[in-house]
Amino acid sequence: MKDGANMRKIIHVDMDAFFASVEQRENPQYRGKPIVVGGDPYGRGVVATCSYEARQFGIHSAMPAKRAHQLCPQAIFVRPRMKLYKEISLELMDIFYFYTNLVEPLSVDEAYLDVTDNKKNMKSATLIAKEMKSVIHRRLRLTASAGVSYNKFIAKLASGYQKPDGLTVVTPAQAMAFIDRMPVRKFAGIGQVTEKQLKDLGIHKGVELREWSLQQLVELLGKRGEILYHQIRGEDNRQVNPKRVRKSIGKETTLNEDIGVRSEMIPILEELAQQVATYLQDKQLVARVLVLKMKFHDFKQITRRLTLPTPIHTSSQIMKYILFMLERMNLEGKQVRLLGMSVANLTDNEPHIKQLSLFEEEDEMMHTQIEDRDV
């Protein structure tokens, strides 16, 4: 652990129930009421996010909207307005850049900031975080929670510690005690399955996780175990990266009715491909991996992953390989309730990347292997 003049000052800012809070801001009649942003409660959509009033009923992100309605029949369901959320996100990022150029956005409502050297020459990261929260509230009429510490891992833990509208500062002297009492589910990369696995071994909090050796954690969790070994000791050397590129981008849709005919799937997949391609072109990225996802009426899910012979960035390129995968899937007797696709291994779109001719592409595709995964 570093100390003294070399100590970095990191702030992690996370907006509070962002989509739902925006809807409450735009519609005063929604304030103080359970708001669910997502799909149709009488259909097959899912919850994108919900207000804190709705969370009191057990509603959470990714829950089927129908289940959310059962838990809270009086909840107000609204459809997401991504264009509006993105516009507000740009205003949020402008506030961040007023303090530092070292801003690493993680999503439309979340970012890391390195304010060790900042534009306002403020010595205290805590005072910067307080001022920033005040500016966000005044300009956007929304609340944010912030965590302040000497590395990214602890700053992110801290931002979620006192939500909503919280500010938590963790100094080097406080770090071990703070990590010790943190439930393991709060650590990045630990989902429900891993959490259960750890609890079965008697590991519930950071203090218990620290008792395990590096070798034990690697054997248990692989690469994630090595990262955790250092993080629970307060060690995280990752820099705030203003040029951070998303590792993947995906779009999916739950269908109003099950479909079992390929020809009916194609227009839906074309629309998803256009959305993915628009993102790639806006960010001037290309993708080298393509994933097709399907969920059936019995909720069984399959994915087909294709490592591409040449990078892609247009909807027509995406659809060419989607059709390639679709034609090789056995869908006889199966009814599809969800379609999705994603691209991964994203890199900058380099003008010199060789574009294959039609015949070269067909030859490459003949030797391309599809990776199957059934869940």
Give per-residue pLDDT as tens, 102-156.
999 988 999 999 999 999 999 999 999 999 999 999 999 999 999 999 999 999 9
CA distances from 339 to 131, 249, 262, 265, 312 (A): 44, 15, 11, 8, 20
Q: Per the annotation, where are the binding residues for Mg(2+)?
A: 14, 109
Region 225-229: what's the mean pLDDT?
A: 91
| CATH number for region 248-374 | 3.30.1490.100
* pLDDT for 364 beyond 50: no
Region 18-42: what's the mean pLDDT?
A: 95
> What does the alpha-carbon distance between residue 229 and residue 217 come to, in Å, rounded to a whole number?
7
pTM (predicted TM-score): 0.74
- Contact assessment for residue 171 and residue 126, using Cβ atoms and an 8 Å cutoff: no
> What does the alpha-carbon distance between residue 374 and residue 293 come to, in Å, rounded to a whole number?
10
Per-residue pLDDT tens over the stretch 47-77: 989 999 999 999 998 888 999 999 999 999 9
Which one-letter amino acid corresponds to residue 114? D
Structure confidence at residue 136 (pLDDT): 97
**Backbone dihedral region for residue 38 (phi beyond 0: left; psi -120 to 50: alpha; all else: beta):** left
Pair of tokens at residue 120: 């306002």
**What residue spans define the domains of the chain?**
18-81, 173-237, 248-374
Q: Give the CA angle between residues 192, 146, 46 to the nearest 5°.
A: 40
* Fold of domain 18-81: MutS, DNA mismatch repair protein, domain I (3.40.1170)
* pLDDT for 195 beyond 70: yes
| CATH number for region 173-237 | 1.10.150.20
> What does the alpha-carbon distance between residue 311 and residue 354 come to, in Å, rounded to a whole number?
9
Just list the catalytic residues: 110
